Amino acid sequence: MTPATMTCIEIARPGGPEVLTPATRPVPRPGRGEVLIKVAAAGINRPDLLQRQGVYPPPPDASDLPGLEVAGTVVALGEGVAAPTLGAEICALVAGGGYAEYVAVDARLCLPLPRGYDFVRAAALPETLFTVWHNVVERGRLAAGESLLVHGGAGGIGTTAIQLAVARGARVFATAGGPDKAKVCAGLGAHAIDYRAEDFVAVIKEATGGRGVDVILDMVGGPYVARNIKALAVEGRLVSIAFLQGSAVELNLMPVMLKRLTLTGSTLRPQATDRKAAMAAALAAEVWPLIDQGRIAPLVHATFPLVEAEAAHRLMEANTHVGKIVLTV
Ligand SMILES: NC(=O)c1ccc[n+]([C@@H]2O[C@H](COP(=O)([O-])OP(=O)(O)OC[C@H]3O[C@@H](n4cnc5c(N)ncnc54)[C@H](OP(=O)(O)O)[C@@H]3O)[C@@H](O)[C@H]2O)c1
């Protein structure tokens, strides 16, 4: 029996990690096409920090609770749902509401637990894989034999992007702050660049015989934008998924014309559920087999109980983590 109420984490007001407050709310009811998940683990993502600070509001139809990915058990089905079935152990992309004991989600955004996975590792998959798939493969059109530069290579998105691109036959470069994080990127198969000690543009030019890379996945922005454009090869694609160092830049666009570059980017959360369902189907077909083979595996840095979400956010803000931070419920 599903209880009437649940424990969740609310954002009491915009602010620091201390505004994350345990609260009691009604358990959501699955609508048409949705399933209710009893959450066992929920991944933390940097957009959660931005939402908490009040600078990344949830889309109008999404829960106001933080949390973009979960793993758990299906305990109720909305009208018209054929799969997944009751009792199925799954992970799912949610548009909010993951920091809770229960969450309702469109059935098409559920994916099976990969072979041998527990809920913690499975909860670390959806947000980064949907994001990396959409931006590196669908937007960046990275092909086997091409090259990719990933910034923030040691983070949740970064470690996933390196593994996915390596597994799909690309040559991968990754930037990271400090030798320890660079070593992690190298261990995943990237040519690692410690940006505190080296200039990534110079390293890439040198390593590619002056050609540059085909695709860049950037979350830094600011001063990186012009340097990214320098590091791109002819017909290169720059995909922006965040602007940790600012989105307002003054830029000479001449190289965009001369090198026939594409500048693009996206945010995952506000995209239509149909679009996300298409991404889920592509992940099931193209990426889940790579996870089952162990060629892509999340790096879980730390876990915290749900009610200690504040400590989990403090850890992510300290920027010392490698890979993912996960809440257990
Ligand atoms: N557009 C989308 O759909 C979408 C979806 C999910 C996430 N994102 C964005 O993707 C980024 C990565 O998310 P994540 O969950 O993987 O976070 P994460 O694990 O914290 O990784 C972010 C990495 O960026 C680096 N970093 C942090 N602050 C920085 C700063 N001020 N300047 C430069 N580098 C900085 C850190 O690496 P070093 O210590 O090595 O510098 C860190 O490892 C976030 O900005 C997030 O908002 C976008």
Fold of 129-265: Rossmann fold (3.40.50)
The rounded distance, in Å, linking the Cα atoms of 133 and 136 is 6
Give the angle 142-244-19 at the CA atoms, nearest 5°.
Answer: 125
Pocket of ligand 1 (CB under 6 A): 45-47, 127, 131, 152, 154-157, 176-177, 181, 219-220, 241-242, 244-245, 266-268, 316, 319
Fold identical between 5-125+269-328 and 129-265?
no
- What single letter denotes the amino acid at residue 49? L
Nearest-CA residue for ligand 1 atom 9 is 242
Distance (Å) of CA 164 to CA 134, 229, 259, 299: 12, 23, 26, 13
**CATH of 5-125+269-328 given 1.10.10.10, 3.90.180.10, 3.40.630.30, 3.30.420.40:** 3.90.180.10
Residue with tokens 């089905």: 77
Handedness of CA 176, 179, 184, 185 (dihedral sign): positive
The alpha carbon of 128 and the centre of ligand 1 are apart by a number of angstroms equal to: 11
Question: What is the structure's pLDDT at 232?
Answer: 98
For the chain of 329 residues, list the mean pLDDT of each consecutive stretch of 10. Answer: 96 98 98 98 98 95 97 98 97 98 98 97 98 98 98 97 98 98 98 98 98 98 98 98 97 97 97 98 98 97 98 98 97
The rounded distance, in Å, linking the Cα atoms of 63 and 23 is 14
Domain boundaries, the chain: 5-125+269-328, 129-265
Closest CA to 193 of 150, 239, 254, 131: 150
Residue with tokens 């990344």: 56
Question: What is the structure's pLDDT at 1?
Answer: 85
The rounded distance, in Å, linking the Cα atoms of 243 and 23 is 32
**In sequence order, which residues have a C-beta less than 8 Å from that of residue 5 and are 6 or more positions away?**
24, 25, 26, 27
Question: What is the structure's pLDDT at 273?
Answer: 97
Question: What is the structure's pLDDT at 129?
Answer: 98
The rounded distance, in Å, linking the Cα atoms of 205 and 193 is 13
The alpha carbon of 175 and the centre of ligand 1 are apart by a number of angstroms equal to: 12
